[in-house]
Chain A
Amino acid sequence: MQPFHTLTGTAVPFGAENVDTDAIIPARFLKTVTRAGLGAHAFATLREDPANIFDAPQNRGAPILIAGDNFGCGSSREHAPWALADMGFRVVIAPSFADIFAGNAFKNGILLVALPQEQIDRLMEVAADQPLTVDLENQVVTTPYQDRFAFAVDPFRKDCLLNGSDEIALTEALGQDIAAFETRLASARPWVGGAAARVAA
């Protein structure tokens, strides 16, 4: 993944609550076999309104999105963060995020920043005409008006984001542990293996 350190840029003051992944990318756009190009269909229903916030000239290509509570609820589709990333977003700031979406966003190098609603309200206000800065190393969001909002981040995810790690390669490095587990599993719960046919590849 692309490393993330510090980013300063326009934040879209969207603010909606319970934004589900069907709203971020409707199912009819999921019939794709690649990750690319989903940004054009992101928030498709909302963007049918020509006056929508995402297509406002000042917000085009903005790297930060500010949303309301429980962002990303619903379907597990990773097309949602792919669509957000394809639109140019690298950070979403909201009071809370749905679990599966949070995992998916992280895997795609999108930093999720959870802040209390009062701080979100303040950032929405500032974002109307000023950029925000998101500093992952120091875990803080700042504004040109000296606001300074600290945020929590899972240490593993922080490390991966800062280094742009390939998570599969990190896990493959634990191959001995995995092999040892498989040996234990085969004797402790022998019924687990062999549930599907081994098809010649």
Chain B
Amino acid sequence: MSAPRTLYAKIWDDHVVRTGDDGTDLIWIDRHLIHEVTTPQAFEGLRLAGRRVHRPDLTLGVPDHNVPTTDRYLPNPDPASTLQLATLEANCAEFGVELIGIHAAAQGIVHVIGPEQGFTLPGLTLVCGDSHTATHGAFGALAFGIGTSEVEHVFATQTLHLARAKAMRVTVTGTLGFSISAKDVALAVIGQLGTGGGTGHVIEFAGPVIETLSMEGRMTLCNMAIEAGARAGLVAPDAKTFAYVEGRPRAPQGADWDAAVAYWRTLPSDPGAVFDTEIVVDGSAIAPLVTWGTSPEDVVPITGTVPDPAGFADAGKQVAAAKSLAYMGLAPGTRLADVAVENIFIGSCTNSRIEDLRAAAAVAQGRRVAPNIRQALVVPGSGLVKRQAESEGLDRVFIEAGFDWREPGCSMCLGMNPDKVPPGERCASTSNRNFVGRQGPGARTHLLSPAMAAAAAVTGRLTDVRELMA
């Protein structure tokens, strides 16, 4: 009888190509998702060294980071973006990698299309040159972001030299309250752990709240594991996972499907498996959360006030908080619900899936975007999400309320395309990072859930969605 193992350890053990004598293992990579921003230099490296992509059948490309979200048949006004998108196409063609092109129906954000295509499966190792690759951990896949040199290494060898991380379990107990979403859980976890709290760890999310989350919700939660500094987030695969995966275009079929499910059922952490760190979050106590500062750990309930930097225990935090507030243009003691916003962004790899759009549309239904809002973008995560939303009439709900209904991409989450928050303006955003300048130079970001973003859109200020939906 072998010792009880965690989900993380089981996936790791099944992917060791070779155990190193220096504390690192050579780990096999089952899936490699690629996009236009972090691959040009990796392909260039292959070309210079005369190397090939070792396993194109495990590699899938899609443009997402700087695609325009307006009509893609119009000329792209940005020559640098045009070149980067063309470079991805040319590289995929040259190295025999399948590309879901900019005009394909299935194009979308890399972390939305992976699961949607059944490219993401439980028990896999999956990498992408993007830190939000943690998203795919929702399926019980070990998924993490890598840099461009590692992209090149995976291209050439389909492996990475990795040191085993520590295992952390975050157990979310209780039941979520009315209008509380996976995004609020993610922000609550980051608020409790801090942005460096997960460094060196892979987090497994567990407990009753996680079990009740939909696959979309689990993706939102794992997506933000990186904002707590964790290498990856994981949720044990269960019946909900299998139901989501079954029948997707690239999912196993027939006898392969049965064998895969039998294997996947062996993956959840064994009873008695030891975690290096255990954290418990009281799910019943989570209120709708918003960020007040320039770090995702700067969270406060919508019913709360902007904190006073002097109230932080450590001197470094006091300085950081004061700087954040100066950048955010907020005074200590201000009620969050009194903060007016000018921009709304519903989208990103965190919150652009069908369930997110449904939650936002339920708030927008029969209401109007407030007059002080200059931009209210709804950017579906993929062409297929967009089509699904349109078949449900969600596009009409948004358009009639005064939102802008866009083509899929990363958009205003990171402002690489024309979708930016103007300097000094505020944005209620369903994305994942409120860093200085993230949504455009001088942009002030408040992270929140899709329902909360829609609530802010219709009132023109940060708003407790529970008041609108009661």
Interface residues of A (CB under 8 A from B): 17-18, 20, 22-23, 26-28, 30-35, 45, 68-70, 73-78, 81, 96, 98-100, 103-104, 107-108, 154-156, 159, 167-168, 171-172, 174, 177-178, 181-182, 185, 189-201
Contacts and interface: CB of A to CB of B under 8 A. Distances in A.
B196 A107 contact: no
B436 A172 contact: no
A45 B157 contact: no
Contact of A199 (B93, B157, B260, B416): B93
A191 B252 contact: yes
Contacts, number: 217
Given A45-B441, A154-B24, A174-B26, 9 more contacts: A18-B195, A22-B414, A69-B196, A81-B147, A155-B23, A168-B152, A172-B157, A189-B123, A196-B56
Interface stretch (B34-42, B102-110, B395-403): B34-42
Interface of B: 17-18, 20, 22-24, 26, 28, 30-31, 37-38, 40-41, 44, 49, 51-52, 55-60, 65-66, 78, 80-81, 83-84, 87, 92-99, 119, 121, 123-124, 129-131, 133, 144-150, 152-153, 156-159, 161, 163, 165, 195-196, 199-200, 226, 229, 231, 250, 252, 256-257, 259-260, 263, 295, 316, 320, 414-416, 433, 435-438, 441
Nearest to A105: B147
Given A74-B131, A177-B26, A18 B56 contact: no
Contacts of A34: 40-41, 44
Contacts of A98: 196, 199, 229
B438 A22 contact: yes
A174 B24 CA distance: 14
Given A35-B41, A171-B26, A177-B17, A103 B96 contact: no
A70 B28 contact: no
A119 B55 CA distance: 46
A175 to B, nearest CB: 8
B28 A17 contact: no
B147 A103 contact: yes
A99 B159 contact: no
A167 to B, nearest CB: 6
Given A33-B84, A70-B196, A181 B17 contact: yes
A182 B92 CA distance: 23
B17 to A, nearest CB: 4
A68 to B, nearest CB: 7
Given A76-B145, A78-B149, A196 B119 contact: yes
Most chain B C-beta atoms within 10 Å of own C-beta, residue among A99, A168, A196? A196
Contacts of B437: 22-23, 26, 45
8 contacts: A28-B416, A76-B130, A76-B146, A103-B150, A168-B157, A177-B17, A200-B96, A201-B52
Nearest to A107: B149
A78 B37 CA distance: 10
For the residues of A in contact with B, the DSSP-based class is loop
Contact of B295 (A18, A26, A154): A18
Contact of A70 (B152, B153, B199): B199
A196 B38 contact: no
Contact of B145 (A45, A100, A167, A168): A100
Contacts of A104: 147-150
Contact of B200 (A32, A45, A99): A99
A108 B149 contact: yes
A178 B96 contact: no
Contacts of B66: 31
Contacts of A171: 26, 153, 156-157, 159, 161
A99 B227 CA distance: 12
Contacts of A107: 147, 149-150
Contact of B260 (A20, A26, A32, A191): A191
